[in-house]
Structure 1
Amino acid sequence: MLFDRLFSRWALGWLLAAVGVPVLLAAALLVGRALTAGPAPAPVAAAPTAAIPPAPDEPSPSPEESVPAAAPAPDDLPVVTYDPAPGGFPADPGPADTRPLAEGLTPTRTVAAYDAPGGRPLAFLAPTISGVELTVPIVERRVGWTAVLLPSANRRIAWLPEGGWSTAALPDQIVVERRPHRLTWFRDGRAVRSWEVSLGMPGQSTPLGRTFVLGRTPPPQDVYGGVDIFALGAIPDDPGAVPTGLRGAHIGLHSWYTDDTLGKNVTNGCIRLTRSGQRQLLAALRPGTAVVVVDQLPAPPATA
């Protein structure tokens, strides 16, 4: 199940109007076009339990370190949108790292994205994608430069020089384990809840690695169970393997009209959980929240 392209200006749209519900049920579910920002996180009543250690403190740069200069960015560089991101960006140095990414970056103006500190400018990051404010998790820092997960790409990062962006706290994290078909919600590095989930079918597996919540969209069909959907920053690993009507779509996190398929590989790559679980996540998670998909954690979370 995949998210199709989105209309801008936060409007609710319908995904692939020519595709009927029987096709949705057979080929997996399509998602509406309009992303909206999530509500303010609701208070969490569950008592957290330890599961994921916090990331170690980063060393302070020495005064002798120099800041690599940012080369001027040509005006005709592409802008990263909902479509697959331009190529040439480096691989995520820790795609399976489950330590929390506790800080996000939000462009306050259009900023150039580089392939390395002092490297080549390859694209622009705008303050919004499809009308929704863009927040991307920070994965690494060097003197004068910050690396973030790249939207509309899998396991890729972009380097940004200082200026033109602000930061925001990201207290939550989602970890998805493919073998046990389990999703666990963490807050401040501690497990809050775990749910059984459905994942991608053979040939259209849910992509491994770190990604993030891009935004949310109202459900365009009853098959979603009447619950809003999260669009993720990830796209199919093999876009040609998905049905034609789903080309250009994103991976999503959503519920379904029935829970009968939980624990199975039946989707076109999306992550499907219960309606009650999705409602809890919708009330808690903000755009930019990190999502990491691994085969299996070394030990089950205490909430499993």
Structure 2
Amino acid sequence: MEQSSARSRAAWPVPLILALLVISAIFLVFREGESPSPASEPEKKAPVAEKVDLTSLPASSTKTTIKAAPRDPRPNKVPKGTVVHPKRTVALYDAPDGTPFAKIAAKQFGDTWLPVITRNRDWVQVLLPSKPNGSTGWIRSKELEEAHSRFLVKVHLGARTLQLFEDNREVGTWTVAIGAPDTPTPTGRTFVLGHITDDKQPFSPVILPLGNHSDTLDSYGGGPGTVALHGWTDPAVFGKAVSHGCVRVPDDALELLRTIPTGTPVLVDKA
């Protein structure tokens, strides 16, 4: 029987044997080069957010200077009105999935609301209240409460006017007083950081501190040189460059401005 089998193998034509060898080689190469089955692939785990030691980070507030903060890339662009509120003290990053450089608390002059200027996946870039002017930071969206401000304030330094818009409709335009030549009102986009009501204030019962600061004064009146929108007792100042950087507005403008929500964008230009 074995001999018969041997004779049968010997009788196979040479071309057929060569063809079988080639097919076998191709099959082996294919097996070696094919991708592993899904079952043999290592399981891919979702990235885990790195825990940040908030105690080691400086706080962004109107009283602090954080030089590591990224600068506003488009300081003259009108934000869309999206504002966010940190649910708790959260880290600020220099880029999405980047390096934490500071933190921001849930409260400043009340609840902290910051205007969003850019989105990137599950991150938002916001304007900050700390120096230098135009400081920004990135925050994870899941750590924020989101809302929308229907309002926009524009201050035109050349014309010395303030415009208030609601839902892209102009509510009013007023002649205002702006910073003097030695203490100019800083340009760029900022926001309403808070509302301070104090009937004992001699010049304005309502003050709206903004997220920017004087470029020439490190402090003023015991504060850190924060720029604000506020009233004034003498209407003769309106239309003049006489303030220490703040924007002084008439009483009827102040009555409307006091109703706009914290986080509302404010755009200051040279027009």
Does structure 2 retain, via aligned residues, the 8 Å contact 1:68–1:144? Answer: no
Instruction: Show the counterpart of 2:152.
Output: 173
Between the aligned residues of both structures, percent identity stands at 32
Q: Deviations over 1:135-173 (max 9, x none)?
A: 000000011211000113311211112322110111100
Larger relative contact order (CA 8 Å, sep ≥ 6): 1
What SS is found at the alignment partner of 2:203? helix
Alignment pair present for 1:79 and 2:59: yes
Instruction: Show the counterpart of 1:292.
Output: 267
Instruction: Show the counterpart of 1:202.
Output: 181
> Cα–Cα, structure 1 residues 101 and 238, in superposed 2: closer, same or farther, change >3 Å?
farther
For residues 191 and 152 of structure 1, what CA distance do their matches in structure 2 show?
30
Does structure 1 retain, via aligned residues, the 8 Å contact 2:79–2:116? Answer: no
Aligned residues: 223
What is the TM-score normalised by the length of structure 2? 0.77
Does structure 1 retain, via aligned residues, the 8 Å contact 2:79–2:115? Answer: no
What SS is found at the alignment partner of 2:154? strand
For residues 190 and 135 of structure 2, what CA distance do their matches in structure 1 show?
9
Alignment pair present for 1:259 and 2:239: no
Q: Which amino acid letter does the alignment assign opposite residue 235 of structure 2?
A: D
Does structure 2 retain, via aligned residues, the 8 Å contact 1:173–1:289? Answer: yes
Instruction: Show the counterpart of 1:95.
Output: 75
Q: How does 1:93-242 map to 2 (within 5 A)?
A: 93-97=73-77, 99-130=78-109, 132-153=110-131, 154-219=133-198, 220-224=200-204, 227-240=205-218
Question: Which has the higher mean CA deviation after the structures are superposed, 105-114 or 83-92?
Answer: 83-92
- How far the C-alpha of 1:70 sits from its partner, in A, is 5.6
Question: Which has the higher mean CA deviation after the structures are superposed, 211-220 or 172-181?
Answer: 211-220
Q: Which amino acid letter does the alignment assign opposite residue 250 of structure 1?
A: T
Could you list the runs of 5+ residues in structure 1 that have no partner in the other structure?
A: 1-66, 297-304
Q: Structure 1 or 2: larger helix share?
A: 2
For residues 155 and 70 of structure 1, what CA distance do their matches in structure 2 show?
28
For residues 49 and 98 of structure 2, what CA distance do their matches in structure 1 show?
7
Does structure 2 retain, via aligned residues, the 8 Å contact 1:106–1:135? Answer: yes
Q: Deviations over 1:77-117 (max 9, x none)?
A: 112233124221111111111x3431101000111001111
For residues 209 and 268 of structure 1, what CA distance do their matches in structure 2 show?
17
Does structure 1 retain, via aligned residues, the 8 Å contact 2:76–2:269? Answer: yes
> Cα–Cα, structure 1 residues 91 and 222, in superposed 2: closer, same or farther, change >3 Å?
same
What SS is found at the alignment partner of 1:277? helix
> Cα–Cα, structure 1 residues 221 and 139, in superposed 2: closer, same or farther, change >3 Å?
same
For residues 147 and 75 of structure 2, what CA distance do their matches in structure 1 show?
22
The structure with more radius of gyration: 2
* Superposition CA RMSD, Å: 1.9
Instruction: Show the counterpart of 1:279.
Output: 255
Instruction: Show the counterpart of 1:24.
Output: none
Does structure 2 retain, via aligned residues, the 8 Å contact 1:71–1:119? Answer: no
For residues 209 and 102 of structure 1, what CA distance do their matches in structure 2 show?
16
For residues 144 and 168 of structure 1, what CA distance do their matches in structure 2 show?
16
Could you list the runs of 5+ residues in structure 2 that have no partner in the other structure?
A: 1-45
Q: Which amino acid letter does the alignment assign opposite residue 287 of structure 1?
A: T
What SS is found at the alignment partner of 1:231? strand
